[in-house]
Amino acid sequence: MELTEFTITQAHDGLKKKEFSAIELTEAYLDKIRQRDKEISAFLTMIDDLAVPQAKEVDEKISKGENLDILAGIPCAIKDNILVEDLKCTAGSKILENYIAPYDATVIQKLKEKGAVILGKTNLDEFAMGSSTENSAFGPTKNPYDLSRVPGGSSGGSAAAVAANLCIFALGSDTGGSIRQPASFCGVVGLKPTYGAVSRYGLIAFASSLDQIGPFAKNIEDCQIVFDTLKGKDPLDSTSVELNHKFYTLNLKSLRIGVPKEYFTKGIEPAVEKIIKAAIKKFEEAGAKIEEISLPHTEYALACYYIIATSEASANLARYDGIKYGYSEAKSEKRKAKNLLEVYLYSREEGFGAEVRRRIMLGTYALSAGYYEAYYLRAQKVRTKIRQDFERAFEKVDAIFTPVSPFPAFKIGEKIEDPLSMYLSDIYTISVNLAGLPAISLPCGKTENNLPIGLQIIGKYFEEDVILKIGRFFEDLNK
Ligand code: GLN
């Protein structure tokens, strides 16, 4: 087995037994990135000069016989909308092309404390808006399973990096599916935690009531290790909470799984439906109870999300004005802004890409006087209905199984000209964000073209441990 094929636990064992050093492990990944990332383009920034000293510190600890944290010396990659002190943080946007992060996000601080080795920053759709990573101002990332296809988005760089063994785990953010959908397209595990389970401090905001940071990993065990490191109350994020551990004696025979009928109607590709149904069948054969449930407001989720997410984005992105951060037309020879308003207008016009501008316009419109009640307020009411659908369903079941995406990874260029068809990629993931629930994407099969398909397991609030355990059952069933 090559060094770059290890999981977190395998690499940790190897480090402890001194089969290889943290520097050797890090160098192996850096080499692999140098070779393979030419064709995949998962990374926007590589930090060889910083990664090696991080690994060296871990080696020193090992040689002194100090206790080694499970993440010590483990190479990872970070989506480029999460701040790592002194590194560029572009959010995939020209407007932040030269922005240097002045501090660490709380999740980064936690990873650094444990000695994880950060290899670099990964590509994303601009400001995490998209489902294919094609909206990045720095070019698309390719799917390692088929280079003519997208890795999903918006955390496509992180998902592709884990899938192509360019790092052992990665961080992404999920506002409407941006961890689960690329995890599904790239055949890796991705977890979107409950809203509030992980601090958002230092995450470049897209839609603050929906955004969550979470891990990509090669298997459930690794995903749990990273989540356990990230989670918990942070005084710097007032929406974060401490997770009270309830210990679950969950077994397959007592497990009640809900399958929403609204997720298996028109639009789903037959190959995807077949693979998801086969996975559900496996649970049934192992003794789990499968129940059809209804989430009746599912059909409004997409419209509701695109009102709320764009409204919040229009407010969050107001700070990029050519004065406070990044790209500015104030000094540009090209346009010669004559006054402050023109600095704002030109900087935003030049700095933002088409999708971001489209969303700012949509959100500003939805929040404007006269339309606010008809759109934004309405959408908030629908959001409550969607949450209540889930609460009702969870009275009867322990977890809900659905597809992650109606189709496998699509071709680069296939949907980019048609925003609506791109938005449809998120049909199965956005309700979870609107309700604030936790969910994972778990690889559960491949199509005839060798494209991975993910099963979505949705849990009750703060029951990440339960859905991860259920994921573990599935891995065991497939051993
Ligand atoms: N694809 C969705 C969107 O474009 C979700 C993005 C995300 O989760 N960051 O808004």
Residue 235: C-alpha distances to residues 56, 60, 196, 200, 365 (Å)? 31, 32, 12, 11, 34
Do residues 51 and 119 lie in contact, with contact meaning Cβ atoms separated by under 8 Å?
A: yes
Do residues 135 and 92 lie in contact, with contact meaning Cβ atoms separated by under 8 Å?
A: yes
The closest-lying atom of ligand 1 relative to the alpha carbon of residue 430 is 5
Catalytic residue ranges: 79, 154, 178
Return the half-sphere exposure (C-beta side, CA atoms, 13 A cut-off) of residue 310: 26
pLDDT of 475 > 80? The answer is yes
Q: Mutate which of 80, 126, 131 to test ligand 1's pocket (most atoms within 8 Å of Cβ)? A: 131
Q: State the pLDDT confidence band at 247, using cuts at 50, 70 and 90.
A: low
**How far, in Å, from the CA of 185 to the mean position of ligand 1?**
15
Length of the chain: 479
- 175 in ligand 1 pocket by Cβ < 6 Å? yes
Do residues 52 and 75 lie in contact, with contact meaning Cβ atoms separated by under 8 Å?
A: no
Using DSSP, state whether 173 is helix, strand or coil: strand
Using DSSP, state whether 331 is helix, strand or coil: coil
Measured distance between the N- and C-terminal CA atoms of the chain, rounded to whole angstroms: 18
- 158 in ligand 1 pocket by Cβ < 6 Å? no
In this prediction, residue 328 carries a pLDDT of 87
**How far, in Å, from the CA of 102 to the mean position of ligand 1?**
26
Supply the pTM of this predicted model.
0.97
- 72 in ligand 1 pocket by Cβ < 6 Å? no
Residue 432: C-alpha distances to residues 17, 22, 79, 456 (Å)? 42, 38, 21, 10
In this prediction, residue 377 carries a pLDDT of 96
Q: Mutate which of 154, 208, 428 to test ligand 1's pocket (most atoms within 8 Å of Cβ)? A: 154
- 154 in ligand 1 pocket by Cβ < 6 Å? yes
pLDDT of 182 > 90? The answer is yes
Pairing status of strand 189-192 against strand 212-217: antiparallel
Q: State the pLDDT confidence band at 245, using cuts at 50, 70 and 90.
A: low
Do residues 100 and 86 lie in contact, with contact meaning Cβ atoms separated by under 8 Å?
A: yes
Do residues 175 and 128 lie in contact, with contact meaning Cβ atoms separated by under 8 Å?
A: yes
pLDDT of 3 > 70? The answer is yes
Planar angle of CA 441, 379, 415, nearest 5 degrees: 50
Q: State the pLDDT confidence band at 50, using cuts at 50, 70 and 90.
A: confident
Out of 47-51, 298-302, 406-410, 466-470, pick the least confident. Answer: 47-51
In this prediction, residue 1 carries a pLDDT of 85
Distance between CA atoms of 143 and 149, rounded to whole angstroms? 5
pLDDT of 152 > 80? The answer is yes
Hey, what are 78's tokens? 């970070």
Mean pLDDT of the chain: 95
Sheet holding 289-293, edge to edge: 43-46, 117-122, 75-79, 169-174, 212-217, 189-192, 439-446, 452-458, 399-403, 256-260, 289-293
Could you identify the residue written with the tokens 């000209």?
Answer: 417
**How far, in Å, from the CA of 128 to the mean position of ligand 1?**
6
**195-212 confidence digits (pLDDT tens):** 999 999 999 999 999 999
pLDDT of 248 > 70? The answer is no
In this prediction, residue 37 carries a pLDDT of 97
DSSP secondary structure of 187-221: T-EEEEPPTTTB--TTBPPS-TTT-EEEEEESSHH
**120-140 confidence digits (pLDDT tens):** 999 999 999 999 999 999 999
pLDDT of 336 > 70? The answer is yes
Hey, what are 43's tokens? 């990374």
Cis before 311 (ω within 30): no
B/e letters for 65-102, b = 16+ CB within 10 Å, e = fewer, are: eeebbbbbbbbbbbbbbbbbeebbbbbbbbbbeebebe
The closest-lying atom of ligand 1 relative to the alpha carbon of residue 433 is 8
Using DSSP, state whether 14 is helix, strand or coil: helix
**How far, in Å, from the CA of 463 to the mean position of ligand 1?**
23
Q: Bigger pLDDT: 4 or 50? A: 4
How many CB atoms are closer than 10 A to CB 371?
A: 13
**441-473 confidence digits (pLDDT tens):** 999 999 999 999 999 999 999 999 999 999 999
In this prediction, residue 330 carries a pLDDT of 74
Q: State the pLDDT confidence band at 77, using cuts at 50, 70 and 90.
A: very high
Out of 41-45, 179-183, 249-253, 363-367, pick the least confident. Answer: 249-253
- 326 in ligand 1 pocket by Cβ < 6 Å? no
Pairing status of strand 189-192 against strand 439-446: antiparallel
E strand residue ranges, 56-179: 75-79, 117-122, 169-174
In this prediction, residue 325 carries a pLDDT of 84
**How far, in Å, from the CA of 132 to the mean position of ligand 1?**
9
